[in-house]
Structure 1
Amino acid sequence: MFAQLIRFFHHPAPAPLLGWLLLDLRLHLAGTIDFQPDQAASWWKAMQIGSGLVQRVTKCDRVYAIAFGEGAHHLHLHLIPRFQLDLNPTAWALDDHYRAVSNGHRSAVATVQIAEFVNQA
């Protein structure tokens, strides 16, 4: 069954934000354009569940859903918490979180915090 090929996991270390989940498809499909209708329905349901989980646990204002499509040979959808109080509210500023962690201007999320998030989720 297609739903068994979908899984959630927290962004791996170094994670730029707590609650940044990935919805992972364990099939080698490049994107949703390749889905059959029943697969699209299962994927949409997983997106709703994952987005609700991120919002419930992080108390964020919105959850962004972004699929970049270049880092892996199968679909990963990033479910990213966004807060109104974020100092840079533009959507494309999410990349700044990666840059800040990689250049040492911002600390990555501690693995203990990620473990607590996963346990709470």
Structure 2
Amino acid sequence: MQPLIYVAGPYRAATRDAIAQNIDTARHVGTAAAAIGWYPVIPHANTAHMELSLPHLGDEFWLRGTLELMERCDALVLCPGWDRSEGTLGEIARADTLRLPIFRSLDLLPSASEFIAWLHAVEARRA
């Protein structure tokens, strides 16, 4: 099993440059997660700047899609600034409902192998 980690953090910003910085931050977090065995799901990078080409779709279209991606993941890791992001707070609320583990910073993220061992231990206790 290779666990999927959803990278959650601010995307929207006042300027295109600020959005690009948020995308870069999410890529950095995703790259660091991949280095310790996770497969990163980075919605920022998946749909970078598409809202500019398709403004008629609106925020709700993009937010629904990212939640669908998140629901298929094993855990979340949060990017800096997550606590000031309305979208990320919504993702956290949904992840809590789904009981997905949330790592509130990159330095709290265990390696994928440590996470898998933890999952197996939890499943063994439930059996």
Q: TM-score, normalised by structure 2?
A: 0.31
> Higher strand proportion, which one?
1
* Greater share of residues in helix: 2
* TM-score normalised by the chain length of structure 1: 0.32
